[in-house]
A and B are shown apart, each in its own frame.
Chain A
Amino acid sequence: MEYFLQQTLSGLATGAIYASLALAVVMIYQAIDHFNFAQGEMAMFSCFIAWQLIHWGFPYWIAFFFCIAISFAGGVAIERIVFAPIRNAPILSHIVVFIALFQIFNATAGYLWEFTIRVFPSPFPETLPFESKLIGMHEVGVFGITLAMLLLIYLFFKYTNVGLAMRAAAASPDSARLVGINVGWMLSLGWGLAAAIGAVAGMMIAPIVYLEPNMMLFILLYGFAGAVVGGLTSPLGAVLGGFLMGVLENLAGAYIIGSELKLTFALVVIVLILIFKPAGLLGRVVVQRV
């Protein structure tokens, strides 16, 4: 029973990471109807920026917030420079550009920082303030930071004018334009936010999986799986789906398949959801009018 609890709790901690990535994926999906296949590599690149800052002697938290700011600016810049010119191009062009970005980030990180494994520091103390064998301090910290971030994002979308404008631009671009919202810039902001969320997720997972250019590949897959499980049209669903994937991954790893087939597990989950409940748990069924 204790083993079960332990696995579930650490699953919730990794689930928090998947939830953040799933949320970033869903945000971009809602804005432009595509999956950002480069999301993970963008997060990885942000992590390397943070690592470099820490390496130069900045304190962790300054590097942390600085990195989030850079990632936000980078996300906005990518949308402005790369995606704005081809906003109306066919889906294939978008997917090709996503893959190209994936390639560029991955290889640039490899060029600048080499393909060796590095240790990324955890900002949290080694030991818990209370006695527990169930969970480590880093996991508690990850959970706390992620929940705080999700809460902030929720408040932003719910109570600020910009948040409302962004939701309007995603839900109905034409009507949003008619009431004076600059839809193009709202998309860029969405990209910036998604990049920033990804950066936080990356910096939280990096101490666990170690820092290297390919570190985000399987985490991104779990983020996608979380988004699909929760429903691509529902940010809340994506967050829940992410947590669910974290717990499922750990429990399946502990009791059923072992640690070698975790990617296959994500594949099976994605395919099963697509067969039996394509809208996901909380998503709405999209009906197309002819």
Chain B
Amino acid sequence: MTAETASGVAPTRTPSNRANPADSLTIFGVRMPVVRQISIGIGIVVALGLPAVSEDFAVFQMTQVLYLAMAVLGLNLLTGFTGQFSLGHSAFMAIGAYTAAIMMDRMEIAYFWTIIPAGIVCFVAGFLFGLPALRLEGLYLALATFALALATPQLLRYEHFEQFTGGVQGIDLLKPDSPVSFLTNDQWYYYFSLLFGFILIWCAWNLVRGRTGRAMIAIRDNPIAASTMGVNTSMYKATTFGVSGLYCGIAGALSAVVVEFIAPESFTFAHAILLLIAMVIGGLASIPAAIIGGMFILYVPNISESVVDTFFGGDPSSKALVWVSFGVFMILTVYVMPSGVAGFVRQIIGKLARGR
């Protein structure tokens, strides 16, 4: 910049936050930003149109994919962009789900008013939990969240909280019928979740592309340099932890509304691991990867269970093989595809794309 100005040449392009080196590439003669807009457009059309042509149960499953994707996105904001680990995000889904359920069941508040408060409660919880753990290196956070994930089901079952949490039985909920006559219940709750999905993805998009996002990435890549440049690292880390808690909280609240039932067993350490697997396989530091992750959590266990069933018979212990294969998959992903499916797609696009 300075050199150009000094030599009297006006800068040809004003540098902005949105400058992306890939923008100058073309793929089959179409410029990259256009490709991106087209794929986002296709994504939106598919997301809006799919329920119209699907069975009710498939719509229900897609709704589950949506909220799981939100949880994976929350975890990805924390891990992919800020470089902190959490093995305990199931706990934040639990807090969100229980907040929503208690508001609906014990306080008789309509379901659409419970989602945002659940998110806010989780933001505060995440911020407060993250503040002490994040003053140290990322590993301690992994440890503290590991403990959190293990302790959560126990706390939810604890008898002295039973009047709120319903103890071991959990809480049964009832969702009201669809207020729009031409939508079935499943379709209505799909669009209801999709609204939150769009908002959260849009927020995440803006968050990581702006000043905050740059600070987050700087913390991930070099925390010492970031703090030298005046980034308040512990504040940013704790806030990101809060935001990622908020995403999981909203996901949890949506799950309570959609599934109409919550119990301590839904939020065990295994669930936290599933979120982590989904994030790694989907791809770190990528927003579309969250959708891939959500689909992974919902569909892959079912598909692989039926595959295992055909090869090993209906033996219940053979279901364990599914989890063995997940573990092997994760290790292979780390070896051959460290940036997940999203990174793989990016590579393919990189191969196809040409510089102008």
Contact = CB atoms under 8 A, between A and B. Distances in A.
Q: DSSP class of A's interface residues: helix, strand, loop or mixed?
A: helix
A176 interface: no
Contacts of A224: 143, 146-147
A22 B157 CA distance: 28
B324 A111 contact: yes
A39 B343 CA distance: 31
Interface stretch (A43-51, A188-196, A234-242, A270-278): A270-278
Nearest to A91: B138
B273 A267 contact: no
Contacts of B158: 260-261
B328 interface: yes
A273 B344 CA distance: 41
Contacts of A217: 150, 269
Interface in A197-218: 217-218
Nearest to A25: B143
B151 interface: yes
Given A35-B139, A103-B273, A110-B320, A264 B155 contact: yes
User: How many interface residues does chain A have, given as a range?
Assistant: 35 or more
A99 B276 contact: yes
Interface residues of B, number: 48
A34 interface: yes
A278 to B, nearest CB: 5
A266 to B, nearest CB: 6
Given A91-B85, A218-B150, A104 B155 contact: no
Contact of B320 (A33, A111, A290): A111
Interface in B124-176: 129, 132-133, 135-136, 138-140, 142-144, 146-148, 150-151, 154-155, 157-159
Contact of B317 (A85, A99, A101, A110): A110
Which of A82, A86, A274, A278 is most buried by chain B, counting CB atoms within 10 A of its CB?
Answer: A274
A107 B321 contact: yes
Contact of A275 (B85, B132, B327, B328): B132
Contact of B323 (A33, A91, A103, A271): A103
B280 interface: yes
B139 A91 contact: yes
26 contacts: A35-B143, A37-B142, A82-B331, A89-B334, A89-B338, A92-B284, A93-B334, A99-B87, A99-B330, A101-B331, A104-B324, A107-B321, A107-B327, A111-B320, A115-B317, A217-B150, A221-B146, A260-B154, A261-B151, A261-B155, A261-B158, A264-B155, A267-B144, A267-B147, A270-B143, A271-B129
